[in-house]
């Protein structure tokens, strides 16, 4: 993890309130993907959706403007943005004057696209323009009410088992938890899995999800690991894995990976978000 030596994670950081694009810290996806068995040709389509709830800047008269923003990073981007650096970058707008929302949009889109070497989609909405509704939970069969005994809190894909009948179904769980690769702090999430293929045994699938509880990895790579494990051990013909994580520092991260080119509901928010 030599590429993380200069990362602001786990270090005391100054509160920079004037625009500073070099606060963004890019991390290559490749090293962690190698550990999962993902190489040049991606076995999925997908996007990482980030929501920012603490975006603000000054207009030309010095009056604050407050907004919410959504960023969509294609899973094909060579780099991701380290989350603390992203927060520090957004904070650098707080005392900076801009002529318009459109100027802020263009600057952020350019900075993120440059850092990730990909076309990042940016949507910024002033608070009075937002109509976001909170959805309590994912759609699908809720796994968490299953009466299971859990003993393994380190990722164990051998827990995944299948039955013979072919089905299409969607299941979800709120019991996903992993830990940050750098700080070791907990990342809480909800996970939705949609697939077509031999039925995945629900009790063992839930045990597998719980087995991430002490796992150390970034959000994006956890979702890709889950996708790859299910593909290897259950061999569905279609698979979509979608996680929505609880926000930290005004940002939430929501990785989406699928065998299909599937439209994503951009307005979705769960109750912990």
Q: Is 166 exposed, middle or buried (0-12, 13-18, 19+ CB in 10 A)?
A: exposed
Question: DSSP code of 216?
Answer: B
Compute the mean pLDDT over every residue in the chain, rounded to the nearest whole number: 91
Q: For this structure, is 180 an active site residue?
A: yes
Domain count, the chain: 2
Instruction: State mean pLDDT over 196-212.
Output: 97
Residues 77-128 pLDDT 10s: 999 999 999 999 999 999 999 999 999 999 999 999 999 999 999 999 988 7
Task: From the candidates 187, 222, 229, 252, give the one annotated as an active-site residue.
Answer: 187
Residues 205-224 pLDDT 10s: 999 999 999 999 999 999 99
Q: Is 232 exposed, middle or buried (0-12, 13-18, 19+ CB in 10 A)?
A: exposed
Q: For this structure, is 111 an active site residue?
A: no
Q: Are residues 151 and 115 in the same domain?
A: no
Position 109 scores a pLDDT of: 98
> Domain for residue 269, yes or no?
no
Residues 147-179 pLDDT 10s: 999 999 999 999 999 999 999 999 999 999 999
Is residue 1 predicted with pLDDT exceeding 70?
A: no
Q: Are residues 118 and 159 in the same domain?
A: no
What is the CATH number for 194?
Answer: 3.30.1130.10
Task: From the candidates 48, 111, 180, 229, give the one annotated as an active-site residue.
Answer: 180
> Domain for residue 217, yes or no?
yes
Q: How confident is the model at residue 248 (pLDDT cuts 50, 70, 90)?
A: confident
């Amino acid at each position: 993890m030599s590429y993380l030596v200069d990362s602001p994670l786990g270090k005391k950081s100054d509160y920079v309130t004037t625009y500073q694009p070099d606060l963004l810290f890019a991390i290559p996806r490749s090293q962690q993907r190698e550990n999962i068995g993902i190489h040049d040709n991606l076995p999925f389509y997908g996007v990482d959706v980030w929501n920012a709830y603490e975006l603000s800047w000054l207009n030309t008269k010095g009056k604050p403007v407050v907004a919410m923003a959504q960023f969509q990073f294609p899973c094909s981007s060579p780099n991701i943005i380290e989350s603390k650096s992203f927060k520090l970058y957004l904070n650098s707008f707080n005392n900076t004057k801009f002529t318009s929302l459109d100027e802020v949009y263009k600057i952020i889109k350019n900075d993120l696209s440059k850092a990730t070497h990909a076309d990042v989609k940016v949507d910024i909405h002033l608070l009075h323009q937002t109509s976001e509704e909170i959805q309590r939970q994912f759609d699908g069969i809720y796994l968490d009410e299953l009466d299971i005994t859990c003993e393994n809190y380190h990722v164990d894909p051998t827990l995944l088992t299948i039955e013979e009948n072919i089905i299409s179904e969607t299941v979800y769980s709120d019991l996903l938890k992993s830990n940050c690769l750098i700080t070791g702090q907990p990342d809480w999430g909800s996970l939705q899995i949609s697939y077509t293929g031999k039925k995945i045994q629900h009790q063992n699938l839930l045990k597998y999800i719980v087995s991430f509880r002490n796992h150390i990895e970034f959000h994006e790579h956890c979702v890709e690991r889950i996708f790859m494990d299910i593909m290897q051990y259950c061999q569905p013909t279609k698979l979509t894995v979608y996680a929505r994580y609880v926000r930290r520092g005004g940002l939430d991260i929501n990785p989406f990976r699928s065998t299909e080119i599937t439209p994503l509901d951009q307005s979705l928010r769960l109750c912990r978000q």
